[in-house]
Chains A and B, each alone.
Chain A
Amino acid sequence: MSGNGDVVLIKDGKRLDGRDFDELRDIKMEVSVLERAAGSAYVEWGKNKVMVGVYGPRELHPKFLQDPTKAMLRCVYNLAPFSVDDRKKPGPDRRSVEISKVTSEALSSVVMLERFPNTVVDVFIEILQADAGTRCAGLTAASLALADAGIPMKDLIASCSAGKIQGQVVVDLMKEEDNFGECDLPMAIIPKKGEVVLLQMDGKLSRDEFKDAYKLAYDGCMKIYDLQRKTLMDSMKKFVGEGGIENGD
């Protein structure tokens, strides 16, 4: 968020990659991509590539962490060393520990953890390629993977970011905009109720700009939610035998 004035981010009313101010990047979602996980999802969000695996509910060890009233939800957000331009030193650091924490708190607000006392649900978020907005992509994918695992939850979680570049409020920042823009505002909501479960801000916004950014991010989340729904619906086609039973396999 250096606010570098030299870098041109908006040209002829369009952004660097030709998007409008309220336009999201191209998004591709897929579920059940990992054979051995209870649930999994893969999301390509612009140049972001995120893989999420959900394991559990399973036994929680050490035993003193077990809670007989509810399950524990553990998130691990990991940025692969090759996911960024300069090799990232492997292992958890301050940033990924923080993202793991806010992600697990956001997910805990919808997952019905009281259904599985004394257990743990593990969510592993692997960022294979990063291009700004990875926590949003990770959270979106994690919510898909949890639904795919059949873990009861009150709603999905949709996540999207907004921000400010060259004085203009825009949705879904990409890497250049994140690096040279003035502000980044990732947000996650429970789409049915419109409740906010994650809201962070890096940089500065005025009151009015914040309102605009909030609106843009909220609308972005709703677009993400529609995509999530469609992905899950498509994944269940075989379950109900839509398109008939193939005899080839």
Chain B
Amino acid sequence: MLNVKDRDLIVPGDLLGSDILPDMNCYMEGGNVYSAVEGLVRVDGRKIKVVPSSGGYIPKRDDVVIGVIMDVLTGKWLVDINSPYICAMSGEEVSRDAAKTDLSRYYKVGDILTAKIGSVNEVYSCQLMKPWKIENGLIIDVNPKRVPRVVGKQKSMLNMIREKTGARIIVGQNGKIWIKDGNVDLAVKTIKKIEKYAQTQGLTDQIAEFLDKESRGNPIKPSYHINESED
């Protein structure tokens, strides 16, 4: 039995219903399902979940993230991934004989990289895989809980922004987004707009309209470049 409708707004502790399956951000108590965060209810058959409006990033396996090197140790790096949990990255990712090489030759403290999360354990210690160094461009922050909307279903939103602004974009699931080339200003503006109005219905169409309007008379400048020092 449902106590709410699809797309209702709710606050923590609201009763969602009974005899249903709690999914994300819900909890069950005495047969009833309650919400644990403020956000938007999504009903999918007998499953119910709450899309949170804000929150931090918790590492998840196979997520692509953008991080900053915090420390270089023997054989591994520590990487800040904008989360309460610090990721380790093994030196084996770049060198066969990591224990004997000076790893700061590859990544120094403060270097920025994008990588995939390889494994996460029950207390969220995690390992990074397949790093790729980010050397110039622009990194912006969005709320990690609103990143899925920037990407869209089957990357529809992301591909549209890439196409219409001509920018190269890497979206880190941890709320860091790297942008380079093309109309960077417009890309930033668009992403910020998506973040603000994350759960609007028909957002993709409205953003498409916005992009068309903004880029008219302002054609894509593919040589748009930001120096490293300006970041």
Contacts and interface: CB of A to CB of B under 8 A. Distances in A.
Interface in B9-60: 9, 11-13, 15, 25, 27, 29, 34, 36-40, 52-56, 58
A239 B27 contact: no
Contacts of B200: 240-241, 245
B132 interface: no
Given A56-B84, A191-B13, A233-B11, A147 B199 contact: no
Nearest to B145: A150
Contact of B12 (A153, A239, A241, A247): A153
B201 interface: yes
Contacts of B123: 68, 117-118
Nearest to A56: B84
B34 A154 contact: yes
B84 A153 contact: no
A174 B9 CA distance: 35
Interface in A99-122: 110, 112, 116-119
Interface in A144-185: 147-156
Contacts, number: 111
Interface size class of B (residues with CB under 8 A): 35 or more
B54 A39 contact: yes
B13 A240 contact: no
Interface class of chain A by DSSP: loop
A229 interface: yes
Contacts of A247: 210, 213
B108 interface: no
A152 B12 contact: yes
A57 interface: yes
A155 B36 CA distance: 7
Contacts of B29: 154
A229 B53 contact: no
Contact of B55 (A151, A156, A190, A238): A151
B195 to A, nearest CB: 10
B13 A236 contact: no
Contacts of A28: none
B11 to A, nearest CB: 5
A29 interface: no
A150 B54 contact: yes
Given A116-B84, A239-B197, A154 B53 contact: no
B30 to A, nearest CB: 10
B199 A239 contact: yes
Interface of B: 7, 9, 11-13, 15, 25, 27, 29, 34, 36-40, 52-56, 58, 84-86, 122-124, 145, 193, 196-201, 203, 206, 210, 213
30 contacts: A39-B54, A58-B84, A59-B84, A59-B85, A59-B86, A118-B124, A147-B12, A149-B55, A150-B55, A153-B36, A154-B29, A154-B34, A155-B12, A155-B13, A156-B12, A192-B13, A192-B34, A228-B11, A233-B11, A236-B53, A238-B197, A239-B40, A240-B40, A240-B200, A241-B199, A241-B201, A241-B203, A245-B193, A245-B206, A247-B213
Given A150-B56, A152-B12, A156-B11, 5 more contacts: A118-B84, A154-B13, A229-B11, A236-B9, A236-B40
